[in-house]
Amino acid sequence: YAMLLSLIFLIVLVAAIVGFVFRHEIKTNFESNLNLALKDYNVTVDWHSEAVDTIQRTLHCCGVQNYSDWERTEYFSQRGIPRSCCKNQNNCSEEDLKDPNKAKLKVFVDGCFFLVTSTMESKMSIVAGISFGIACFQLIGIILSCCLSQYITNNQYEMV
């Protein structure tokens, strides 16, 4: 049991170290994937488009760096900026969303990349605290299982 807990503890420790060391690569990869999702955005139901819509609605943002990122997409030439960028869904017409100057007043102007990364970084301390607590319980479990194993081994010799 102590070996199993030790193995799990090491796996969690390695994952935390790798996540911390490669956090900048994770950010860069996220930004490029978000740009790709905007480029491939369409109205059909696919999970990339739904993810972009969910991020934009939840965080009140639009595009990667700002709302004008949509102007470089194929979707913009057909339909304008997506409705998930609208501040008020009832006050957003398709004509407004096709005109960047009018859209600026009706959509969220902040980009999603900064908001997502800042939200993740702000929650990182909570995740680290919970992980540290779990690691402490694992270490206590490892120590207690070693003590129990030692106690059982010593008692068997006394019985003989």
In tens, the pLDDT along 6-60 reads 888 888 888 888 877 787 888 888 889 888 888 888 855 678 888 888 999 999 9
**Any domain includes 104:** yes
Residue 122, pLDDT score: 82
What is the value of pTM for the model shown?
0.67
Structural domain of 38: 12-125
d(CA 10, CA 19): 14
Backbone φ, ψ for residue 88 (5° rounding) = -130, 115
Which of 13-17, 52-56, 133-137, 155-159 is predicted least confidently? 155-159
d(CA 159, CA 155): 6
Residue 159, pLDDT score: 56
Mean pLDDT of 118-144: 84
Compute CA distances 27 → 73, 109, 114, 119, 122, whole Å: 22, 21, 10, 12, 14
**Any domain includes 139:** no
> How many distinct structural domains can be found in the chain?
1
d(CA 37, CA 92): 23
**Any domain includes 87:** yes
d(CA 64, CA 113): 5
**Any domain includes 134:** no
Given a cut of 80, is residue 119 above it in pLDDT? yes
**Any domain includes 85:** yes
Residue 43, pLDDT score: 55
For residue 116, the domain's CATH number is 1.10.1450.10
d(CA 10, CA 83): 46
Mean pLDDT of 145-156: 81
Reported confidence tier of residue 123, pLDDT bands at 50, 70, 90: confident
**Any domain includes 132:** no
d(CA 40, CA 55): 16
The contacts of residue 51 (CB under 8 Å, 6+ apart) are 37
User: Does residue 107 sit in helix, strand or coil?
Assistant: strand
Mean pLDDT of 102-106: 86
Query: For residue 158, how far is the Cα from the chain centroid?
Result: 56
In tens, the pLDDT along 46-96 reads 788 888 889 999 999 998 999 888 988 888 888 888 888 998 888 888 888
